[in-house]
Amino acid sequence: MPTVELGAENFESTVTDNEIVLVDFWASWCGPCRQFSPIYDAASEEHPEIVFGKVNTEAEQALAGAANITSIPTLMAFKKGNLVFSQPGALPAPALKQVIDAVVDLDIDKALAEQASKESGE
């Protein structure tokens, strides 16, 4: 599936309405962003079951601010609406594949239960 442009109007619904969503925060003037873009686009074609979104930080400054984006590119991964990965920097294809595999394999329900247990002091 090709990447989807995300903005303030569709970011939250995209993240919450899909099982897995990867989001690339980028800008047109950013060299590493331009290097990462074809790698990200190729991964989106290889994984049609995952939503790959892009946020143009120049056009969506408020959204980038709300997401605490301090450097670009930044890749975020959400599973069942929960942020499970966030890292700045352009990833090479093998590293992006590792992130995708880890997110797919993550048992988010178990992870959330463990986190809740730790926070309640059990």
Longest dimension (CA), the chain: 48
Q: Cite the active site residues.
A: 30, 33
- Return the structure tokens found at 116: 């809740």
> What CATH number is attached to the domain comprising 33?
3.40.30.10
Nearest of 51, 73, 67 to residue 8 by alpha carbon: 67
Mean pLDDT of the chain: 94
pLDDT at residue 13, rounded to an integer: 97
Query: Is the per-residue pLDDT at 122 higher than 70?
Result: no
Residue 122 domain-assigned (yes or no): no
Determine the structural domain holding residue 9 and report its residue range. 3-117
94 within domain boundaries: yes
What's this model's pTM, rounded to 2 decimal places? 0.93
Instruction: Note whether residue 17 is domain-resident.
Output: yes
Please state the domain count of the chain.
1
Q: Name the 3-class secondary structure at 9.
A: coil
Angle between helices 31-46 and 93-105 (to 10 degrees): 50
Residue 1 confidence (pLDDT) above 80: no
